Amino acid sequence: MTYKLSNWIKEFSDCEIPILYTSKRRIYELQRDEQDITVTVLAEIARQDPGFSISLLRHAGRTTKKEITTLSHAISLISIPIVIKMLSDLPILEKVLDKNTAAKIFTVYAHQYQIAYMSKEWSLLRKESENNEVFTAALNRGFIRFLLYIVDSKKADELEQIYLSPDENHKIKEKELLGYNVDEIAQAIAQNWQLPELIRESYSGKHHNPKITGIRLATELMHQIVSHSSMQYSKELINRTAEYIRVPINQTPGKINWIIIHSIRNSQEYLPYQPLLQFLMSYSPSIRKEPKLGEVIPSQKNKALSHYIKLLRSNNSNRTTRAQIELAVTAMRESIGFSRVVFMSFDSNEMCLNVYLQKISKDLPNLKHFSISLELNKLFNKLLIKEQTLCINSKNQHKYSNLLPSPLRPIKTNASIIMNSFYVNKKVAGCFFVDHGQIDKPLTAKDLQSFKTICIELKAAIESTIIKRNTAKRAA
């Protein structure tokens, strides 16, 4: 191919954009149950599926002269019956492409969903209107990266290697590969397809729209996270982010991390690419200090935790659920430093919790064969009603100590305990119990964050494995 913008416009315009299996399944279920399919419902499906959303925007841009702003606006312009037909007729990504290519697209989708979620949350912090407009623009800003897999998968792989590299000259390398950098190609196609103004203008640094500033800032932040494999940010980027979202500099890294955690939780129900989110949440949110000349940087304290997170994300469908839970228990014990880590499985027949796996210090009593009846213990009964975390510390021990079974009561008067009801596919699977045992060490915010990170990664790993096994059974 000759590297001209006209060639790229033609290549991308001629390609048929596949949609996710979950999008087609959801519309089928709504039709089967004879439920009303509204603009709101269709827009929500499109927000979970970058392929479907860009298909909608491209179709709307070609068929109307009106300026498109949101996905709801695009659906209204096209009409609900035609959008439903599009959902039914478009090919399914998981069937059109091989598993490896589909997995790579899911990773791109995960990045784009994170950018969109972050941009919208920032817009809310700034108390701006039309937040869905920002979400739509941010979700589709990186459409070239996943569409390139459909047009030329080899170049797409090369582009991802450039994108994932920490090299600051990635735009120069993009131009060497494609003839233009990605922003230049995307801007030309966005104008040709008459995509929303926010998408078109977001590729240019010459703008005065604060919404575009937020989208570009979130994109830059996400690129730094995935390319450096770290949740530690440069001081310059944190300063710009703090000024934009109007949050004190020392609180900004924590605010970013909070948004990432919530976006992962928000994405768990329908997004098949959720387990592929490439964010190393094993690192505490902080400002990265640039090393001075000749300075030796000590190894990261959470390096071991990063190792376990990578194992949970390793996409190994042969690993049993027990093996995945054991990985999580080991991570809590070895990398966070809890003296007692216990996972209790939920028995729905007996309505009780039974110790399933444990890792404890040698000087602490073994909890083998330990069981908790939910009928007899009000604390655990309430804990398992929904997915939640309870922290017991020196300030609230007097409220909870007597409600805990004797083997689980605080060993030290200033001890901290974390209990977490663990859900898989919206059903209670068990409960985690961790504490520092006889070590005179209070619970820190970092400990709690790392604990929650492991729970999120474990949940994603188990649900991902279940989906793959079910898919394999259906295929067989």
Q: What distances in angstroms separate CA 106 from CA 145, 275, 468, one per listed residue?
A: 11, 9, 14
Place of tokens 């233009």: 180
What gap in Å lies between CA 28 and CA 289, rounded to an integer? 51
Instruction: Give the largest CA-CA distance in the chain.
Output: 75
298 vs 93, higher pLDDT: 93
What gap in Å lies between CA 185 and CA 198, rounded to an integer? 16
Looking at the domain assignment, is residue 95 inside a domain? yes
Stretch 35-48: mean pLDDT: 89
What pLDDT digit, counting tens, does each position of 144-177 carry? 999 999 989 999 999 988 877 665 567 788 888 8
301 vs 411, higher pLDDT: 411
Bridge partners (DSSP) listed for residue 371: 354
What pLDDT score was predicted for residue 273?
Answer: 56
What pLDDT score was predicted for residue 279?
Answer: 46
What pLDDT score was predicted for residue 355?
Answer: 93
What pLDDT digit, counting tens, does each position of 373-396 carry? 999 999 999 999 998 999 988 788
What pLDDT score was predicted for residue 229?
Answer: 64
Q: What distances in angstroms separate CA 81 from CA 31, 36, 77, 88, 130, one per listed residue?
A: 12, 12, 11, 11, 26
Kindly tell me if the per-residue pLDDT of 458 is higher than 80: yes
CA dihedral of 66, 67, 71, 74, whole degrees rounded to 10: 10
pTM above 0.75, yes or no: no
What gap in Å lies between CA 447 and CA 379, rounded to an integer? 23
Looking at the domain assignment, is residue 239 inside a domain? yes
H or E segment and range at residue 372: strand 371-373
Of 223, 215, 218, nearest in space to 159 by CA = 223
What gap in Å lies between CA 327 and CA 314, rounded to an integer? 12
What pLDDT digit, counting tens, does each position of 192-207 carry? 999 988 888 888 767 7
Q: Is 291 helix (H, G, I), strand (E, B) or coil?
A: coil
Quick one: 265 and 371 in the same domain?
A: no
Percent of the chain predicted with pLDDT > 70: 86
What does the DSSP assignment read for 305-342? HHHHHHHHTS--TTS-HHHHHHHHHHHIIIII--SEEE
Looking at the domain assignment, is residue 65 inside a domain? yes
219 vs 442, higher pLDDT: 219
Q: How many CA atoms lie within 13 A of 421 on its CB side?
A: 17
Quick one: 200 and 91 in the same domain?
A: yes
Quick one: 229 and 146 in the same domain?
A: yes
Quick one: 338 and 275 in the same domain?
A: no
Quick one: 54 and 161 in the same domain?
A: yes
Q: What distances in angstroms separate CA 74 from CA 86, 136, 336, one per listed residue?
A: 13, 11, 48
Quick one: 149 and 245 in the same domain?
A: yes
Q: What angle do CA 275, 276, 277 make, to 5 degrees?
A: 95
Residue 364 · residue 433 · CB < 8 Å: no
Q: How many domains does the chain have?
A: 2
User: At 334, which CATH number?
Assistant: 3.30.450.40
Looking at the domain assignment, is residue 312 inside a domain? no
Bridge partners (DSSP) listed for residue 373: 352
Quick one: 52 and 174 in the same domain?
A: yes
Percent of the chain predicted with pLDDT > 90: 31
Residue 279 · residue 225 · CB < 8 Å: yes
What does the DSSP assignment read for 151-162? H-HHHHHHHHHH
Q: Which domain holds residue 81?
A: 5-288
Of 326, 353, 331, nearest in space to 429 by CA = 353
Looking at the domain assignment, is residue 305 inside a domain? no
What pLDDT digit, counting tens, does each position of 459-472 carry? 888 887 887 777 66
What pLDDT score was predicted for residue 74?
Answer: 93
User: At 58, which CATH number?
Assistant: 1.10.3210.10
Quick one: 58 and 116 in the same domain?
A: yes
Rounded to the nearest integer, the mean pLDDT of the chain is 83
